[in-house]
Amino acid sequence: MSETKKKHPFAIDREQRQQRRQATTRKKRILIRKNGSEKFTLDKTVETSPERAEGLQIVREMARAFIGTIKYYKADYGGSHPHDEAIKKAESMNEWRRQQVENQEPSKISWAEVAAIGEKSIDDSLALWARIRDAADDELECGGRAAHVSGNSTTPFELAQFLAIRDAFADQWQPQGGIESAMIDMLAISFSLQMYWSQIAHRRAIDTHNTQEKDLRKWENKGWKSPYQHEAGAIEQAYKLADSYNRQFLRVLRQLRDLRRYAPVIIQNNGGQVNIGEQQVNVKQ
């Protein structure tokens, strides 16, 4: 990313993340083994990293998925096959999965499909996992994850409406790091849902009268007739949801304000311009 180009508020520093993930640490492990009545204790120091630990977890999930496929074929609903035949059928299923996963959306890929790739090559399965990870980062960075949570992504315009709210909040607060970015997403979600349920509440109240107007026109000239109780409950539910999302919005806004207010003090000894929150402070030499 160019230094002169404005950095997007939600941009993820993937280089720094990769450096953190690859950083190794030394951990001491104590292994206890028993041989009859004798007990042996072995102290062992190993080097590990978050990336290696994550890779081991992926391998465990792949093994669990493959075992689950074998259990399926051994169960009644899977055909009650003997163990050896169940393994063959699981391997045949994995062959089909390998053909399907290449053009599959990352969000649709299952652990069974990752295991099918890992059956032939562990490196390829980890590369597939990296593809899924990158897709998740892209979705978080562009606001798609938050949009799906709020439910406002059923049409292109509704998704654009949500992203407009998110960008407006980000332009004002300029979030720094993952915590503040998450709080901006929470603000956008709660405000979007507040607007949605306010609209639903108003529509339910108005539509209730409109649907009764034709039937009641011969008994009244004007005014509003109370709805049936189940309709009144639906209107009340919508207003309560709108109010609860408004409270959530204000609560997150206070938390974001407090996070900025109680941030650690920055001391600049060399002078120049220092950006603190939303203020620019010029320090003389």
E-assigned strands of the chain? 25-35, 38-48, 272-276, 279-283
pLDDT of residue 215: 58
Q: Which residue in 133, 136, 132, 163 sits closest to 147, CA to CA?
A: 163
The one-letter code for the residue type at 9 is P
Amino acid in position 40 = F
Averaged pLDDT, groups of 10, the chain, 285 residues long: 58 85 82 76 81 91 94 93 94 92 90 94 93 93 88 80 92 87 88 86 72 58 56 76 84 84 60 53 51
264: which DSSP letter? P
- Please tell me the predicted confidence (pLDDT) of residue 2: 43
The owner of tokens 């109370």 is 226
State the pLDDT at residue 266: 52
**What are the beta bridge partners of residue 38?**
35
Helix (H, G, I), strand (E, B) or coil at 12: coil
Burial of 77 (0-12, 13-18, 19+ CB in 10 A): exposed
* pLDDT at site 3: 45
> Quick one: pLDDT at residue 254?
85
Q: Which residues pair with 282 in a beta bridge?
A: 273
Beta bridge partners of 27: 46
CB atoms within 10 A of CB 246: 17
Q: How far apart are CA 117 and CA 72, in angstroms?
A: 19
DSSP structure class, residue 236? H
Q: Give CA–CA dist 131/105, Å, rounded.
A: 10
pTM reported for the whole predicted model: 0.68
